[in-house]
A and B are shown apart, each in its own frame.
Chain A
Amino acid sequence: SQQGEEDPQALSIQEGENATMNCSYKTSINNLQWYRQNSGRGLVHLILIRSNEREKHSGRLRVTLDTSKKSSSLLITASRAADTASYFCATAFGSARQLTFGSGTQLTVLP
């Protein structure tokens, strides 16, 4: 079964607003990653946060990680129409060379 669940499943906002997506997972992790996927395309890596980190920034992205609650959030500030995409969290755990993806959030930014 999938390691991560995301909410909301879908989010629609106006350009310029902030978008927040949440991810919950079930087991201990080495790191948690966020990816973006434009419709029918490959995934693009956005940001990686390690299990000993609590917050990380990259441009307009801010990711938080709460290992006690087994949850993470992705904040996109000052959203743009080009941010419209599906966003997936993915967890890496144990010594396995694999990621387990969450269910994803479909973000629509209206111009």
Chain B
Amino acid sequence: DTEVTQTPKHLVMGMTNKKSLKCEQHMGHRAMYWYKQKAKKPPELMFVYSYEKLSINESVPSRFSPECPNSSLLNLHLHALQPEDSALYLCASSQDHRGGPYNEQFFGPGTRLTVL
């Protein structure tokens, strides 16, 4: 199984809602990532988990809260978002050779988030 799955595909939420995005992979990868992508722009890294521990947080506002329950799952909890947070949220995974050469990332199809 060489697939990264993301749910839901689309999400519309109000600024007072709480929702969660989910990501799953069964490739045995130990690094997982959340990216945010605005239209016609490259993906921007938000968080990196390595061996289920948060290793990189790119100064993301606290209204985004990541969680890695186990090596296959990655969640992104959303609360009190702003309309400017509307974007495509991408999850990715990769093998993680600690301190070694960096490998390719496998991306999910993304969740299209609209904040009203």
Which residues of chain A have a CB within 8 Å of any CB of chain B?
A: 2, 30-31, 33, 35, 40-45, 48, 50, 88, 92, 95-104, 106
> Given known contacts A40-B110, A41-B109, is B102 in contact with A104 (CB within 8 Å)?
no
Which residues of chain B have a CB within 8 Å of any CB of chain A?
A: 4, 6, 31, 33, 40-43, 45, 48, 50, 55-56, 88, 90, 92, 96, 99, 101-110, 112
- Cα A95 to Cα B56 in complex, Å, equals 12
Q: Are B45 and A43 in contact (CB under 8 A)?
A: no
- Cα A44 to Cα B6 in complex, Å, equals 15
- Cα A101 to Cα B92 in complex, Å, equals 14
Which B residues lie within 8 Å of A88 (CB)?
Answer: 42-43
- Cα A101 to Cα B50 in complex, Å, equals 20
- Cα A35 to Cα B106 in complex, Å, equals 10
Q: Are A97 and B4 in contact (CB under 8 A)?
A: no
Q: Are A45 and B104 in contact (CB under 8 A)?
A: yes
Residue of chain A at shortest CB distance from B97:
A97
Q: Are A43 and B101 in contact (CB under 8 A)?
A: no
> Given known contacts A42-B108, A44-B107, is B102 in contact with A31 (CB within 8 Å)?
yes
Which A residues lie within 8 Å of B90 (CB)?
Answer: 42-43
